[in-house]
Amino acid sequence: MCGIVGFISQNSNLNDPAKTLESMCEALHHRGPNDRGQWMDRTAGVYFGHTRLSIIDLSPMGHQPMLSPTGRYVISYNGEIYNFAALREELDNSSGRTESFDGWKGHSDTEVILACIEQWGLAQALERFIGMFAFALWDRKERTLHLARDRMGIKPLYYGWQNDTFFFGSELKPLRHHPVFSGEIDRTALQLYMLYAYIPPPHSIYQNIFKLPPGNLISIPAPFSHQLPEPTPYWTVEQVAHDGLANPFSGNDQEAIDQLDHLLRDSVRLRMIADVPFGAFLSGGIDSSTVTALMQAESVSPVKTFSIGFAEKDYNEAEYAKAVARHLNTDHTELYVTPKQARDVIPKMPTLYDEPFSDSSQIPTFLVSELTQRHVKVSLSGDGGDEVFGGYNRYMMSPNLWRRMNLFPPPLRRAGSKLCTALSPASWDALFHLLDPILPASLRHSNIGDKIHKLAEVLPARSRRDLFFRMITHWGLGEKLVQGQSGFSSITPGLPAIAPLENYSQDMMLMDLTGYLPGDILTKVDRASMGVSLETRVPLLDHRVVEFAWRLPLSMKIRNGKSKWLLRQVLSRYIPDALIERPKMGFSIPLHQWLRGPLRDWAEDLLDEKRMRDEGYLNPEPIQKKWREHLSGKFSWPHHLWAVLMFQSWLRQQD
Taking alpha carbons only, the member of 269, 264, 280, 274 closest to residue 536 is 280
Q: Which amino acid is at 291?
A: V
Query: Which residues touch 19 (CB under 8 Å, ≥6 apart)?
Result: none
DSSP helix/strand/coil, 41? strand
Ordered strands of the 165-169 beta sheet: 35-41, 46-52, 2-9, 165-169, 158-162, 210-211
Residues annotated as catalytic (active site), given as ranges: 2
Beta bridge partners of 618: 482
Query: Which residues touch 523 (CB under 8 Å, ≥6 apart)?
Result: 156, 198, 353, 357
With beta carbons less than 8 A apart as the criterion, state whether 6 and 137 touch. Answer: no
d(CA 531, CA 350): 12
Burial 468-481 (b: 16+ CB within 10 A, else e): bbbbbbbbebebeb
With beta carbons less than 8 A apart as the criterion, state whether 238 and 514 touch. Answer: yes
With beta carbons less than 8 A apart as the criterion, state whether 17 and 42 touch. Answer: yes
Taking alpha carbons only, the member of 99, 97, 125 closest to residue 113 is 125
Could you tell me if residue 616 is left (phi over 0), alpha (psi between -120 and 50 degrees) or otherwise beta?
left
Angle subtended at Cα 223 by Cα 222 and Cα 228, rounded to the nearest 5 degrees: 75
User: Given CA atoms 127, 53, 23, 27 in this order, what sign does their dihedral have?
Assistant: positive
d(CA 551, CA 248): 4
With beta carbons less than 8 A apart as the criterion, state whether 509 and 240 touch. Answer: no
Query: Which residues touch 321 (CB under 8 Å, ≥6 apart)?
Result: 282, 283, 284, 288, 305, 307, 332, 334
Angle subtended at Cα 134 by Cα 351 and Cα 73, rounded to the nearest 5 degrees: 130
Q: Angle, to 10 degrees, between the axis of helix 187-196 and the axis of helix 638-653?
A: 140
The DSSP-derived string for 51-70 is EE---S--SGGG-SSEE-TT
Which is it for strands 331-337 and 304-310: parallel, antiparallel or unpaired?
Answer: parallel
The reply to whether omega before 223 is within 30° of 0 (cis) is yes
d(CA 589, CA 525): 16
Query: Which residues touch 486 (CB under 8 Å, ≥6 apart)?
Result: none
* Phi, psi for residue 280 in degrees, rounded to 5: -150, 145
Taking each continuous run of H as one helix and of E as one strand, the counts in the chain are 28, 17
